[in-house]
Amino acid sequence: MKSIYKLFIALILTSCTTKKEIPVLKTTTKVISIEDGNEYLKDVWTISPEIEIDEFVPRKFNGKKNISFISDIDTLTLNIKQNETYDFVIEWDDKKAFTRVNTDILKEPSMQESEILEYYHDNKNRKALTDTIPFTLGSDNRIYLKGRINNSNTLDFLFDTGANAIVVVSNLIENKVNLKLDGEIDNNGSDGNHKVATSSKNKLEIDNLNWENVSLLSIDYQRPKFDGVLGWIAFENKIVEIDYEKKILIIHQSFETVPKDYKKIETKMIGGVPYIKGKVITENKKSEGWFEYDSGSNGSFNLSQKFASENSLNNVMKKVGTSTSTGSAGISWKSNDYILPKLQFGAFDLLFVPISISEKDPEGVEAHEILGNNLLKRFNAIIDLQKFEIYLKPNSLMNSEY
């Protein structure tokens, strides 16, 4: 009977293919992420080609919403409504995983609701439409905030849009910071994947804002200029304005208080961090791609060897030197440095941009096209963490030296 059932499923899929083309998501990894409405679920869906139809049930909703399946190289977005099914195929390692989104309201969601980090003020009775956090723009071009963990002395935090976690530097534990390590997790950095220790149920303070029950990653950074990393997840479901001229972060509860004179940039989440769409323009070629919006990087613009090879960008620009980069795992890789004639994203053109191209990509990293804060600081930014969209406006640092 089971073989008949398999044949029946195969006939259904064949019939669907002939009548209506089934969408395809491509991936080079077996685990992908899902954006269910406004919530991003990192690395939660394991591809199972051995299953006839692998079914995903989204969280409860009314009306319609978008759901996106996000791989390391591709994104498939479906606009769904209740009591319907949506079939697609995930292609991985020469295999096909037939997948279905089922919005039957009587079915239990495949993923339970995760708790969104919410902060409160020192004055718990205070209600505000916006909150302002002062920062320092370091000599390394990065954003630094003052804060504390579990009533510690004051710590220096790096504000990192390229991180979807909150991190404490490992050698501070039981030295400057009192916390208990009680788990571990796979951490995906610019230099590859590695396991790191975690700590649950901590208190975080940044300026006059407080978070409870915070999970922290312990990462053994080598000679960092910071004590911790504050990823965008601290302001999940909020809107973050970065004003590099006034050196403040403004946290908005809704778009009603956000300035209107910003240009929207095409944005999507890849691997839990924001990317914006841009073009690398040399004398004879335009190469389009998705570039990580990474305020935690002190560089200008980095391209992977994979991107450079696929777009014939090696040795076509003026070489000005070499450099070495290091990720959170402490692994270093060498790059060749050039001057890019033009970088374009949205309505903005940047001329003669320093660009580094990796000689060899770190193992396990498919792509690391990174816009660092030496470039990003030239634009005040609105980062909408409700809809995952980015808006930019040139500021007085636009023509400053790299």
Which structural domains are found in the chain, ordered by start? 2-102 (no CATH), 119-255 (2.40.70.10), 261-394 (2.40.70.10)
CA nearest neighbour of 188 among 140, 224, 231, 155? 231
Q: 396 phi and psi, to 5 degrees? A: -70, -10
Which residues are CB-contacts of 335 (< 8 A; sequence separation ≥ 6)? 302, 322, 323, 324, 325, 356, 357, 358, 359
What's the average pLDDT block by block, 10 residues per block, for the chain (402 residues)?
A: 41 47 92 84 86 91 89 93 94 93 89 77 87 97 98 97 95 94 77 80 96 95 94 95 98 95 92 92 93 96 94 92 77 88 95 94 76 98 94 96 92
Measured over the CA atoms of residue 123, residue 126, residue 131 and residue 132, the dihedral's sign is: negative
CA nearest neighbour of 386 among 254, 295, 266? 254
Which residue has 């969601």 as its token pair? 109
Predicted confidence at residue 11, as pLDDT, reads 40
Q: Secondary structure of 122-156 in the HEC alphabet?
A: CCCCCCCCEEEEECEECCCCCEEEEEEECCCCCEE
Triad 34, 37, 42: Cα angle to 5°: 25
Question: What predicted TM-score, i.e. pTM, was given to this entire model?
Answer: 0.74
Predicted confidence at residue 17, as pLDDT, reads 43
How far is CA 295 from each of CA 6, 34, 138, 202, 335, rounded to the nearest angstrom? 50, 24, 12, 25, 20
The region that residue 398 occupies, defined by phi over 0 for left and psi between -120 and 50 for alpha, beta otherwise, is alpha
Please state, in angstroms and rounded to a whole number, the distance separating the CA atoms of residues 258 and 251. 9
How far is CA 351 from each of CA 340, 377, 402, rounded to the nearest angstrom? 7, 15, 11
Radius of gyration of the chain from its Cα atoms, rounded to whole angstroms: 22
Q: What is the torsion angle, in degrees rounded to the nearest 10, for the CA atoms of residue 177, residue 182, residue 187 and residue 193?
A: 120
Measured over the CA atoms of residue 9, residue 13, residue 14 and residue 20, the dihedral's sign is: positive
CA nearest neighbour of 179 among 160, 152, 154? 152
Q: Amino acid identity, residue 390?
A: I
The distance from CA 144 to its chain's CA centroid, rounded to whole angstroms, is 19
Predicted confidence at residue 179, as pLDDT, reads 94
Which residues are CB-contacts of 261 (< 8 A; sequence separation ≥ 6)? 393
Which residues are CB-contacts of 349 (< 8 A; sequence separation ≥ 6)? 342, 343
